[in-house]
């Protein structure tokens, strides 16, 4: 991208975090567009958030209170860039989905600035700036949506101080059915209900499952991956925020799912299978179940998305 360009539009994908046992340390990019961000140079030194589409999401347009705006400002300030810019954010999935919407805004914003000003930064250099933006929404530093959105694929956050990302291999026939009910759960709310301490036995269980999940990805073994998507840290607390969660989970297993859990903080839930037909069937039947309970929903089928954000338009 030429440094003479006056504007750029970046598309960032949705992501699933935690994957059951990998709380705050594992994330996957999926083939669903979450956000598009347009960054355009101005004739002054101001950073302006001009549009957020749709406009009824009640997302702050003050730069310091907006995930994309704050991430972009942090990057510009760090490199002493005083060129003004206008930011437009197009939300494709809404907010509070459990699919990394706020992370996608922050990631798309810093990628756009990197390209627009020809900074030549690698993803590892952009990560911390995107995390600063994500913190605005979640009230905590966690990279399990930001990192997969930025790098693509499956990522393990091995350390936070300093942050260290490990990209994991994955099987080609790993399918996810994602069901997004028509409700909103704020990440900060979902984190606030988690316990401050856990039982020693639960910690041992969780450690074993997390290790199994990572091993399953390295071996590209869906059976091991599925057996390891179990969680004692968050699922039992957060499932009460999702109507009919236990019933939906049972429906998924009855129709061929090999694993089931909450995507991030919800309300999106996901089922695992090894073929498209089963993944599609699970989505249709769960949607029918929810419709019978007067709850609308969207269903998506995705393999792991290996690609980072890209310029479009």
Residues carrying an active site annotation: 134, 187
Phi and psi dihedrals of 14, rounded to 5?
Answer: -70, 165
Q: Which residues are registered as beta bridge partners of 154?
A: 28, 168
Helix, strand or coil, per DSSP, at residue 147: helix
Alpha carbons 234 and 267: distance in angstroms, whole number? 13
Closest CA to 243 of 258, 229, 262, 256: 262
Residue 108: name the closest of 34, 164, 162 by CA. Answer: 34
CA 18 to chain centroid, in Å, comes to 10
Name the token pair of 34: 């979450």
From CA 11, how far away is CA 271, in angstroms rounded?
25
- Using only C-alpha atoms, the chain has a radius of gyration, in whole angstroms, of 19
Peptide bond connecting 64 to the previous residue in cis, omega within 30 degrees of 0:
no
Chain position carrying tokens 């009230």: 139
First to last CA, the chain: 13
User: Residue 200 has which token pair?
Assistant: 């020693």
């Amino acid at each position: 991208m030429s440094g003479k360009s006056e504007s750029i539009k970046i598309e960032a994908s949705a992501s699933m975090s935690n994957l059951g046992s990998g709380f705050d340390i594992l994330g996957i990019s999926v083939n669903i567009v979450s956000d598009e961000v347009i960054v355009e140079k101005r004739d002054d030194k101001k950073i302006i958030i001009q549009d957020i589409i749709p406009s009824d999401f009640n997302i702050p347009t003050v730069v310091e209170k907006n995930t994309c705006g704050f991430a972009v400002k942090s990057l510009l300030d760090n490199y002493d860039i005083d060129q003004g810019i206008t930011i437009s954010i197009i939300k494709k999935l809404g907010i509070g989905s459990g699919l990394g919407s706020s992370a996608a805004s922050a990631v798309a914003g810093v990628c756009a600035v990197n390209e627009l000003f020809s900074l030549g930064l690698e993803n590892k250099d952009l990560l911390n700036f995107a995390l600063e933006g994500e913190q605005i929404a979640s009230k905590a530093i966690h990279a399990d949506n930001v990192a997969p959105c930025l790098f693509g694929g499956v990522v393990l956050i091995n350390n936070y101080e300093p942050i260290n990302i490990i990209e994991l291999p994955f099987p080609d026939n790993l399918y996810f059915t994602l069901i997004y009910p028509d409700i909103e759960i704020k990440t900060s709310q979902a984190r606030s209900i988690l316990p401050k301490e856990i039982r020693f036995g639960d910690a041992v269980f969780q450690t074993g499952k997390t290790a199994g999940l990572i091993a399953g990805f390295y071996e590209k073994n869906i059976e091991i991956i599925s057996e390891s998507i179990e969680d004692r840290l968050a699922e039992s607390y957060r499932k009460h925020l999702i109507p009919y969660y236990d019933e939906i989970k049972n429906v998924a297993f009855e129709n061929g799912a090999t694993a089931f859990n909450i995507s991030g903080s919800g309300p999106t839930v996901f089922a695992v299978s090894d073929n498209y037909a089963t993944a599609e069937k699970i989505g249709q039947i769960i949607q029918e179940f929810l419709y019978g309970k007067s709850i609308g929903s969207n269903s998506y089928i995705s393999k792991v998305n290996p690609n980072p954000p890209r310029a479009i338009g």
